Amino acid sequence: MENFPFMLNIVVYLLNLFMEKSQEQRLQSLDALRGFDMFWIIGGEGIFIGLASLTGWPLLNWWAHQLHHVAWHGFVFYDMIFPLFLFIAGISFPFSLAKSREKRVSNKDLYYKIIRRGLLLVLLGFVYNGILAFNFENFRYASVLGRIGLAWMFAALIFFNTKKAAPRIIWCIGFLIFYWLLAAFVPAPDYPGTDRFSAEGNFSCYFDRLFLPGRLYGKIFDPEGILGIIPAISTALLGMLTGQFVMQKKENLGDKKKTLYLIIAGIILIIVGLLWNTIFPINKALWSSSFVCFVGGLSLLLFSLFYYIIDVLKYRKWSFFFVVIGLNSITIYLAQRIIDFYATSNFLFGGLIGWFPESWNEFLNSTAYIVIGWGFLYFLYRQRIFLKV
C-alpha cells in the first residue's frame, strides 16, 4: 500500500497522454446518464445484489436478477449497459461535430479525428484484454472498446457524409434488415441442421470461428465479434439521430415537446423490438436486430428522463455523483485493470467490514470499492482532467 500514491501518479501521467483540461459546456444529462450506466459495472451491481441477499425482499431479489447477463436469448437490465454506452456516444457526436464546424475544422481533419478515435478505442481494447502479455495465440482480439470504437466510427462516417435524417434512418434500418436476413437464411456450414440463432448455427458466430484470430470469449462464439459490428452501427446511429433531434433550436421545437417525441419514439422502438423478437430473438451476444430496437427504445426512455429532469427542469445537484463518473467513464473502465482498487478498499475498510457478519461482505465490499473508485475520479474532476479519446 505504500506504493499506492506512486502508482496513482503513474496512472494519471499515462492517462494525461490522452487527456486535456476542459472547461467547455456540456449536455449535463448525457454525462449523468453515462455515469449512471458505468455505476453498475464499477460496484453498483454488487451493492444491490448484496442488499437482496441481506433482506430477501422480493423487489430487491428481482433487481438482483436483472444484474446478471442472460445465458443466450432474452433480456435483463445488465444486458443494456454496453449498448446504452454506445447509444450515448452516438448522441454526443452531432454536438462535437457542430463545434468542430463552428471552429472551421477541415473535412480532412474531421475524417482523421473520427478514424483516429475509432482505432484508438480498438487499441485500448487490446490493452484492456492484456496484449502487453504478448501471448498472441491465446489473446482475445475482440473487445467491448473495440466494438464501441468501430461501430461509432462507421456510424460517424455515415452521419458526416449525409446531410438529413432520412438517409441516416435508411442506413440504420438497412443494417438491421441485412443482419436479420444474414442470420435467418445463411447457415453455419460447420454445424449443419442446427438452430440458426444458436451459437453453433449462427452465421455470425461461424464467421468469427473462421476469421477472428486468437481466443473467442465463448469458445465457439464471441459477443464482440466481427459481423456484430453491423447492427451495432445502427445502435450508434440511433444515438446520433437522437442528438441531432435534441440539437434543434427551441423556437422550432420546445424542450418539453422534444422530450415527449423522444418518449414516443422510444415506445415505438420497444414495440418493434418485441414484435421482431418473435422471428429474431432478442439476444445481446448476437446483438440481434430485435435487441437493437428494444434496447434502443429503452435507451431513449432513459435519456428522455435524464434530459427532462436535468436539462429541461434544471434539477441538477442530485446528478453530481453520476456526472463525476460519466466525465471519465473510459478512465475508470481502464483504471480498474491498472489499479487494484479492491486491495485499496480492503486496506482502508477491511478492518471495519470484518466487524460485520459474513452475509454483509458483498454489500460492504462493493460499497467500499465504489468509494475508492469514485474518489479516484473525483480527484481527476477536481483537477479538471478528463479522458479525451
Tell me how far apart the alpha carbons of residues 384 and 66 are, in angstroms, rounded to a whole number.
Answer: 35
Q: Packing angle between helix 58-65 and helix 45-55, nearest 10 degrees?
A: 140
Cα separation of 387 and 360, whole Å? 35
In this predicted structure, what is the pLDDT of residue 251? 61
Q: Which amino acid is at 41?
A: I
Interior/surface letters 45-59, b for 16+ CB within 10 angstroms, e for the rest: bbbbbbbbbeeeeee
Buried b (16+ CB within 10 A) or exposed e, 267-304: eebbebbeebbeebbbbbbbbbbbbbbbbbbbbbbbbb
Q: How far is CA 130 from the centre of its chain?
A: 20
pLDDT of residue 385: 84
Give the DSSP H or E segment for 150: helix 144-160
Q: What is the pLDDT of residue 388?
A: 75
pLDDT for res 7: 44
Q: How far is CA 263 from CA 107, 136, 260, 290, in A?
A: 34, 46, 5, 19
Q: Pick from 89, 87, 81, 32: which is nearest to 262 by CA?
A: 87
Q: Which residue has the cell 454526443?
A: 92
The partner residues of 386 in beta bridges, in order of sequence, read 20
Q: What is the mean pLDDT of each run of 10 residues along the chain (389 residues)?
A: 44 43 64 96 92 94 95 96 96 94 93 96 95 91 96 98 95 98 95 93 96 93 96 98 89 84 97 98 97 98 97 94 94 89 91 91 93 94 84
Cα–Cα distance measured from residue 327 to residue 329, given in angstroms and rounded to the nearest whole number: 6
**Per-residue cell: 329:** 467513464
Burial letters for 186-203: b for 16+ Cβ neighbours within 10 Å, e otherwise? ebbeebeeeebbbbbbbb
pLDDT value of residue 250: 67
**CA pair distance 64, 53, nearest whole angstrom:** 9
| Radius of gyration of the chain, Cα coordinates, nearest whole angstrom | 21
Cα 75 from Cα 295, distance rounded (Å): 9
DSSP type of residue 387: E
